[in-house]
Amino acid sequence: MNFSENPIIVFYEVTRACLLTCKHCRASAQKKRNPLELNLDEIEKLAKDLSKFNNPKPMVIITGGDPLMREDIFQILDIFNKENFSLSISFSGTKLATPEKLDLISKKVKNVAISIDGSNEKIHDNFRNVNGTFKTSIEILNYLQGKVNLQVNTTVGKHNLMDLPNILRLVQSFNIKTWDLFFIVPTGRATSELSLNSDEIIQVMSWLYYVQSSMDFRIKVTEAPFYNRVKMEGPKDNGEIFNYLMKNSDIKMIKKMLPVTKDSKNLGVTDGRGTIFISHIGEIQPTGFLPIIAGNVRKDNIVDVYIKSPVFRDLKDPYLLKGKCGKCNFREICGGSRARAFAIYGDYLQEDPACPF
């Protein structure tokens, strides 16, 4: 895949409105919609512009805030379907997700992602800051079983480190395609106190290596591309946390060659290198976690911005990286989280401070 001209994933934040007030929310989501959100005409133009990327077309992920806070969400899905994008949606575990809406969603998208951040109400609801959202999220996952490809998103941090084996058991009980683990970037409402340190991260990643070796669903990580290096070099089988996670999970220590990506083509996808994020008001960013604005879909051509803007050009070139990422032999298949480098150092080319190597 030629990242220099083609993104593989486009995230479109249709709104920042959400009924939840999650502790880690990068969008600092609010209860009310912003009147400056893109309207349907502008979204139609956006879909047409995006379809000008060379084939294969990028996958479009509809996100928020909570996309269900927009009453025109089904028209938005229709707009992207009309342009034949492979479509995914991620929405919040609230009562807005009625059975009628879920039925309609399952007809209009390929994948649905729901967040589970703890194996029980106490951990999940405390993190999401609203009681009842754990129960609702489980109900949504149960309802959508067999109707659509399911993905569970889990934000990994201090709040659920020792709960990971229980979350794995819960995730296993659904017929999911993908488990996506997000490693916190201190941006929006997320603070560094929630984040794992690099020693904790390598132990979690070593456990994840064995989870991936034993499970038939896909494991994906977000803002932790050094997992690619763990997959290539193998896990580190020691540490108190690693031992705890292994002891409490029903998985075997099988060492096998894990593909660096599902199809070994999309190597080294990081913020802006294979990804684009469009905010609710049309700003073009590398990802939602890296709030650098490279243009606006209201006035700029998104294909030009991705190919030519200085920010995206920098991010696509691993040979511009600084610090230990700049010297690392794995910079092409990892490259570190550019969002975390920016959040900590104010320089998106700096080393990833969470790198466990």
- Name which position in 165, 288, 336, 353 contacts ligand SF4 (CB under 6 A): 336
CB of 344 to ligand SF4, least distance (A): 13
Does residue 271 interact with ligand SF4 by CB under 6 A?
no
**Least distance to ligand SF4 from the beta carbon of 336, Å?**
3
- Does the footprint of ligand SF4 cover residue 269 (CB under 6 A)? no
Residue placing its CB nearer to ligand SF4 in the complex, 174 or 289: 289
Smallest gap, in angstroms, from Cβ of residue 275 to ligand SF4?
A: 17
CB of 296 to ligand SF4, least distance (A): 31
**Cα(173)–Cα(127) distance, rounded to whole angstroms?**
22
CB of 323 to ligand SF4, least distance (A): 8
**Does 342 interact with ligand SF4 (rule: CB under 6 A)?**
no
Would you count residue 316 as binding ligand SF4 (CB under 6 A)? no
Closer by beta carbon to ligand SF4, 229 or else 231: 229
- Residue 335 in the binding site for ligand SF4 (CB under 6 A): yes
Tell which residue, 297, 347, 305, has the closest CA to residue 322.
Answer: 347
Which of 207, 330, 342, 348 binds ligand SF4 (CB under 6 A)? It is 330
When asked if residue 352 is in the footprint of ligand SF4 (CB under 6 A), the reply is yes
Q: Which of 179, 226, 227, 342 binds ligand SF4 (CB under 6 A)?
A: 226
Judged by CB under 6 A, does residue 325 bind ligand SF4? yes
With helix as H, strand as E and coil as C, how does the chain read? CCCCCCCCEEEEECCCECCCCCCCCCCCCECCCCCCCCCHHHHHHHHHHHCCCCCCCCEEEEECCCHHHCCCHHHHHHHHHHCCCCEEEECCCCCCCCHHHHHHHHHHCCEEEEECCCCCHHHHHHHHCCCCHHHHHHHHHHHHCCCCEEEEEEEECCCCHHHHHHHHHHHHCCCCCEEEEEECCCCCCCCHHHCCCHHHHHHHHHHHHHHHHHCCCEEEEECCCCHHHHHHHCCCCCCHHHHHHHHCCCCCCCCCCCCCCCCCCCCCCECCECEEEECCCCEEECECCECCCCEECCCCCHHHHHHHCHHHHHHCCHHHCCHHHHHCCCCCCCCCCHHHHHHHHCCCCCCCCCCCC
Interacting residue with ligand SF4 among 106, 324, 344, 345 (CB under 6 A): 324
CB of 345 to ligand SF4, least distance (A): 13
Looking at 148, 201, 328, 349, which residue binds ligand SF4 (CB under 6 A)? Answer: 328
The residue among 229 and 280 lying less far from ligand SF4, judged by its C-beta, is 229
Q: Is 357 in the site for ligand SF4 (CB under 6 A)?
A: yes
By CB under 6 A, name the one of 14, 211, 334, 339 that touches ligand SF4. 334
Interaction of residue 353 with ligand SF4, rule CB under 6 A:
no
According to the binding rule CB under 6 A, does residue 218 interact with ligand SF4?
A: no
- Residue closer to ligand SF4 (CB basis): 124 or 331: 331
Q: Which stretch binds ligand SF4 (CB under 6 A): 105-113, 142-150, 152-160, 347-355?
A: 347-355
Q: Kindly determine how many residues on this chain lie close enough to bind ligand SF4 according to the rule CB under 6 A.
A: 14
- Which spans of this chain sit near ligand SF4 (rule: CB under 6 A)? 226, 229, 324-325, 328, 330-331, 334-336, 351-352, 355, 357
